Amino acid sequence: MARRLLIHLAVKLQVDQAISNCNQCPVGMASHPDGSCPFVDRTRRAGELIFLQGDLAERVWFVKSGTVLLLRQGNEDLGEGRVRAVRFVGSFIGLESLVGDEYTDTARASTDAVLCGITKDKLDSWLGPPQAPARVALELSLRADSTDLPRLAQTDGSAVARVAAWLNTEGPRGVTLTLPRKVVADLLGMRPETLSRALASLAQSEAIAVSRNNLRILDDDKLREAAGVV
């Protein structure tokens, strides 16, 4: 399969040029004024794993050539997850490690690829002062993205499972849930009616207690179970 991918993507992405030297490389150019580029080349074969969702994120990568698939597993997802994005030349991979400890995706080279890696520590000093505007913006932006994560599980599992999963993460623990149903339904990728039914179903199994404007979590275990967490 790996080989196939290589060919496939190569065709589609013929426009993307590999980055071969630091003068063409955004990272290299950014490093230049102050010193040499702290990123270190590493090669991955097509199909090779780069990092695994949930692993301790201690390294960030920059794609110099090749194509990388980002996969994310939802709940109950036994396999490697679903491809949620494709990253090409010139993208960072694993940048989320700046605002969290774990990788939020699994990354796998789908073609032979050259990646530049850097440890979290070195990245930290490469990025410059923590309070510099651009860096503040970067981190806030990444943080906002990671808040969106639950939403990305939008198409995983049944409506009930998605709702349960959402309640597990975003959900108010012992607190009133009072976001308008319409908004929650949008975030979870379903219709308000479906959300309503899902909540009713969770209520019936005594995982939660709902009224029109109040929601309490009664049983975390049942909720997890409903979310498909094994």
Partner DNA sequence: CGGCAATTTGAACATTTTCAATACGGGTGG
Partner DNA sequence: CCACCCGTATTGAAAATGTTCAAATTGCCG
The count of C-alpha atoms lying within 13 angstroms of the C-alpha of 41, restricted to the half-sphere facing its C-beta, is: 12
Among positions 210, 218, 219, 225, the unique one binding DNA when judged by CB under 7 A: 210
Q: Which amino acid is at 105?
A: D
**CA–CA separation, 205 and 213 (whole Å):** 19
Backbone φ, ψ for residue 84 (5° rounding)? -110, -15
Among all chains, which residue has been given the structure tokens 């990092």? 51
Among positions 57, 69, 99, 199, the unique one binding DNA when judged by CB under 7 A: 199
Residues in the interface with DNA (CB under 7 A) total 26
Binding-residue pattern over the window 52 to 91 for a copy of itself, x denoting contact by CB under 8 A? -----------------x-x----------xxxxxx--xx
Among positions 40, 180, 206, 220, the unique one binding a copy of itself when judged by CB under 8 A: 180
**CA–CA separation, 116 and 29 (whole Å):** 14
Do 114 and 42 form a contact (C-beta atoms < 8 A)?
Answer: yes
151 binds, among DNA, a copy of itself, none (CB under 5 to 8 A by kind): a copy of itself
Do 169 and 187 form a contact (C-beta atoms < 8 A)?
Answer: no
DSSP state string for 150-181: HHHGGGSS-HHHHHHHHHHHTS-SSS---S-H
Examine residue 47 and tell whether it contacts a copy of itself (CB under 8 A): no
**Among 36-44, 51-59, 166-174, 205-213, the segment contacting DNA (CB under 7 A):** 205-213
Examine residue 194 and tell whether it contacts a copy of itself (CB under 8 A): no
Among positions 141, 169, 193, 200, the unique one binding a copy of itself when judged by CB under 8 A: 141
Among positions 85, 172, 182, 206, the unique one binding DNA when judged by CB under 7 A: 182
193 binds, among a copy of itself, DNA, none (CB under 5 to 8 A by kind): DNA
